[in-house]
Chains A and B, each alone.
Chain A
Amino acid sequence: MITAITIIRLRDLFAVIMLFGLYSLLSAALFVALSAPDVAFTEAVVGAGISTVLMLATLALTSRYEKRPAHRAWLPLAVVLVTGAFLIYGTIDIAPFGAPDNPVHQHVAPRYLEQSGEEIGIPNVVTSVLASYRGYDTLGETVVVFTAGIGVLVLLGGTARRLKRRRREE
């Protein structure tokens, strides 16, 4: 929370990126505390590692300090506050954390936990849900990653060409 507010206040983008990394690392620790090591892995490596490096690479292309905005943005602030208020209002109705009779534990979760051992035969239920029961979703995610790569290459491509030209010049 303190990290998030500091990120908003700071104008030094380098410090902002470092704090973003810290924030991801803290979330990863939170996921471990909630015994979700799979998610914690992803958060630590992607959030704290790779996206930090990507943002630093972007920073190298632009300037280090944020420009002071010409006017105060009151409308976005109001929208954010109202949305936040609604979200907090929504949390009042959320089922108590970890209670066994929560709706999530009544639907397909028991079946996954009880029968995936026989049906899939691997101990990590997360993997069997991801790769087998929800195989189509994971296929979609893989295609999304691939598409993102293509998108970046189309927008920022030409690296290979520039590299070749530079090697030729040398």
Chain B
Amino acid sequence: MQHHRILRVVTKFYLPLILLFGLYVQFHGDYGPGGGFQAGVIVAAAMILYTLVFGFENATRVAPLAILRACSAAGVLIYLGTGVVNMLLGADFLDYGSFVPDHRSHGEHYGILAVEFGVGVTVASTLLLIFFAFAGRSETEDAD
């Protein structure tokens, strides 16, 4: 789709907005609707839009497969790691209150932000990996 100028311009205009909305949903999930999963999916959708318009080669330059693979594992590790930190602080696994012992609800807040971030990273990168696995197949099939 290299020659569709309108599509390319509109996509360029929309991409930052979608990504910004993804970040908003990610970090504002405590106050409004949304959270890690939704944010991850929105970011992945933005990247898929980019791939559809600008092609598979460019997209894998923006988000290399190796980095995506590392990220999808890192998100799970962030989630697990939050729980482990809680245990190191002497509380139960995933008992976020222990982050700020004097003010447990603040600790809960930080913990939720951390695990939601982990969820977001995993969901975004895993969905992109799955999409690239499909798109890359149809894209590189001709070369084989």
Contacts and interface: CB of A to CB of B under 8 A. Distances in A.
Contacts of A61: 134, 137-138, 141
A57 B112 CA distance: 35
A145 B35 contact: no
Interface residues of B, number: 61
A53 B131 contact: yes
A162 interface: yes
Interface in A123-170: 123-124, 126-128, 130-132, 135-136, 138-139, 141-143, 145-146, 148-149, 152-153, 156-157, 159-160, 162-163, 165-166, 169
Given A38-B35, A38-B38, A152-B130, A53 B143 contact: no
B144 A162 contact: yes
A122 interface: yes
A53 B135 CA distance: 10
Interface string A41-65: 1100110011001100110110000
Nearest to B25: A41
B54 interface: no
A153 B131 contact: no
Nearest to B65: A160
A139 B140 contact: no
B140 A53 contact: no
Contacts of B60: 163
B112 A132 contact: yes
B127 to A, nearest CB: 6
Interface of B: 25, 29-38, 41-42, 44-45, 48, 52, 57, 60, 65-66, 69, 72-73, 75-76, 79-80, 83, 94, 96, 104-106, 108-109, 111-112, 115-116, 118-119, 122-123, 125-127, 129-138, 140-141, 143-144
Q: Which 5 A-B pairs have the closest CB atoms?
A: A121-B105, A159-B136, A149-B126, A37-B33, A57-B134
